[in-house]
């Protein structure tokens, strides 16, 4: 298997005038194409920081990040945004849907920032069909259940056909039934579409159902 995500000696330090906090400490991590990986650890151990760095939303203080064989080191903001938009899809605990846009328009948002994108409506409809919500295209986010809102968020994450999906506690705001449905959907995207998925979770049952669990404690990867 080829490596699709590679972190080498990645550290992240947040500094203020009086405080220095080490969120990640010399992390080395390889994730292969097509893996479904869970990241686990106590609150404040660096899980979300790790996901933000993999997702190119934050830069490491030291170390290097490679996605799909391309290094992020030294890239300007526009080049980073392009690599992020072409390679990654994001799913968040709180959905982050835009309340004033319809379901369909929410899903098309990532395509607006992709140069040369065509048939945005068609691509969004296909993504919504894949998550089972083609009948809700004209609804507003306030008219959706939590599980439906997360399905829209997943459709938005995959509409640009990214190789990697990053999910930060995707079931954290859902009941057990809806959580099961979202996990089934993520597994389907992994197995049938071959997408690499990296998921931060506190739920051990959900983590055990993935290919591999990576544990973090105090900013370090632990076995």
* Cα gap 104→86, rounded to integer Å: 20
Tell me the sheet residues that pair with 31: 5
Task: Enter the tokens of residue 47.
Answer: 């899980």
Residue 78's contacts (CB-CB under 8 Å, 6 or more residues apart) are none
- Among candidates 86, 112, 90, 117, which has minimal Cα distance to 101? 112
Report whether 52 contacts 6 (CB < 8 A). no
Alpha helix (H) ranges present in 55-94? 77-87
Q: What is the pLDDT along the chain (223 residues), one digit of tens a residue?
A: 799 999 999 999 998 888 999 999 999 999 999 999 999 998 888 899 999 999 999 999 999 999 999 899 888 888 888 889 889 999 998 899 999 999 999 999 988 877 666 788 899 999 999 999 999 999 999 999 999 999 999 999 999 999 999 999 999 888 999 999 999 999 999 998 899 999 999 999 999 999 999 999 999 988 6
What is the three-class DSSP state of 11?
strand
Domains in the chain (CATH in brackets) are 3-222 (3.40.50.300)
* Cα gap 214→200, rounded to integer Å: 10
Q: pLDDT tens digits for 54-102?
A: 999 999 999 999 999 989 988 888 888 888 988 999 999 889 999 999 9
């Amino acid at each position: 298997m080829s490596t699709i995500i590679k972190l080498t000696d990645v550290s992240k330090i947040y500094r203020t005038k009086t405080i220095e906090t080490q969120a990640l400490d010399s992390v080395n991590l390889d994730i292969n194409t097509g893996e479904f990986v869970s990241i686990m650890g106590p609150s404040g151990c660096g899980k979300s920081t790790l996901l933000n760095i993999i997702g190119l939303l934050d830069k490491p203080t030291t170390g290097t990040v490679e996605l799909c064989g391309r290094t992020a080191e030294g890239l300007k903001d526009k080049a980073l945004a392009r690599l992020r938009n072409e390679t990654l899809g994001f799913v968040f605990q709180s959905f982050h849907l835009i309340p004033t846009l319809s379901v369909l328009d929410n899903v098309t948002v990532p395509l607006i920032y992709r140069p040369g994108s065509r048939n945005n409506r068609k691509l969004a409809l296909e993504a919504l069909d894949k998550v089972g919500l083609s009948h809700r295209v004209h609804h507003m986010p306030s008219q959706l259940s939590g599980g439906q809102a997360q399905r829209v968020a997943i459709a938005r994450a995959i509409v640009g056909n990214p190789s990697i999906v990053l999910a930060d506690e995707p079931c954290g705001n859902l009941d057990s039934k809806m959580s099961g449905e979202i996990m089934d959907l993520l597994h389907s995207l992994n197995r049938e579409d071959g997408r690499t998925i990296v998921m931060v979770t506190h739920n051990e049952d959900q983590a055990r159902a993935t290919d591999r669990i990576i544990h973090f404690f105090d900013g370090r990867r632990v076995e």
